[in-house]
Amino acid sequence: MAGPVTPTPETAHIAGSKPLSRGDAMRRLWESIRKHDLQDPENRRVIRDEANLRTIFDGNEKLSMFEMTACVSRHLRK
């Protein structure tokens, strides 16, 4: 089992700044996505960009949930 990760400052506004598991960080991100209705209504696997996610999405306007996971992983430090 992997140890805790620490969110980067770009991700801390969503996941918090304290160390947590990768699963908890992703859970918090998904809570924010659902809260702000960022899933594309025609293809729920696509996540639309929004001001809170802009730095995490590396400038992309839309990402698949798989691409998003890769982007988020770059913002979680061991």
Terminus-to-terminus CA distance in the chain, angstroms? 13
pLDDT (tens digit, 9 = 90+) per residue, 22-71? 999 999 999 999 999 999 999 999 999 888 788 888 888 899 999 988 98
Beta strands (DSSP E) in the chain are: 6-7, 46-48, 62-64, 76-77
pTM above 0.75, yes or no: yes
76 by DSSP, 3-state: which? strand
Q: Which residues contact 11 (CB under 8 A, 6 or more apart)?
A: 25, 29, 56, 72, 75, 76
pLDDT (tens digit, 9 = 90+) per residue, 1-36? 478 999 999 889 889 999 999 999 999 999 999 999
- Residue 50's pLDDT is 83
Instruction: Report residue 20 as tokens.
Output: 């947590």
> How far is residue 21's CA from residue 58's CA, in Å, rounded to a whole number?
22
